[in-house]
Homo-oligomer: A and B are copies of this chain.
Amino acid sequence: MEAPRRRVICNQKTGLVFQLQKRISVLRFNRICMAKKRVFPLAQVYGLLEPGPVVLVTTARAGQANIMPMSWHTMMEFVPPLVGCVISSLNHTFEMLRATGECVINVPTVELAKKVVGCGNTSGLLVDKFKTFCLTPVAASVVEAPLIAECYASLECKVFDIRLVAQYNFFILEVVKAWIDPSRKRPRTIHHQGEGVFVVPGRTIKLPSPKTSFFTK
């Protein structure tokens, strides 16, 4: 049933779909969103972002939603999870985030690589990226910005600290709700190495119990 639903959505104006989805009941929302994704513990969010995947940042304002790929991000605290990220003031997302104070960090996998690059090569001022790249907005639970259904994880965020925005375009976000698709056991994220080259995770290794507190920060 998934494919037909997506086709219908892609044949309509994404803005309308998004507004419609904002109006659907909590029960209906739960059925759509929870079909794939489960709530993910906030204390484990760092494991999603620490390896450096390209993410898709969604924002929404006045019924219009936008998508921007981003690789310049870092964890800054475990609980509550804080994420620092650079969003260029040249990007439409910068103004959207500054105005609304909310966004969603979505983690795509390699199957979406072409769409990710497409989102990076277009501007939300000119293009409706959900429609153009046939991505499905799903209502979030805490913030106005939509989750992207096709991404295996989505982190609802609120702006936490803007002290470094003026000089570095650096936002500190708090992850207030996290979602993950538990059926994706080895999600193959994409990692940008510059100039269109990306690397996809290969083998996984496990080493004896590094203490996280020493290890990551």
Residues of chain A having any CB pair with chain B under 8 Å: 44, 46-47, 50-53, 68-77, 82, 84-88, 90-91, 110, 113-114, 117, 120-123, 161, 163-164, 168-170, 172, 188, 190-217
Contact = CB atoms under 8 A, between A and B. Distances in A.
A50 B52 contact: yes
A84 B207 CA distance: 27
A178 B205 CA distance: 29
Q: Is the interface of A mostly helix, strand, loop or mixed?
A: mixed
A88 B217 contact: yes
Contacts of A188: 202
17 contacts: A50-B191, A52-B52, A52-B53, A52-B191, A69-B215, A71-B215, A72-B75, A72-B217, A74-B74, A76-B86, A82-B168, A86-B216, A88-B213, A163-B164, A193-B204, A196-B207, A197-B206
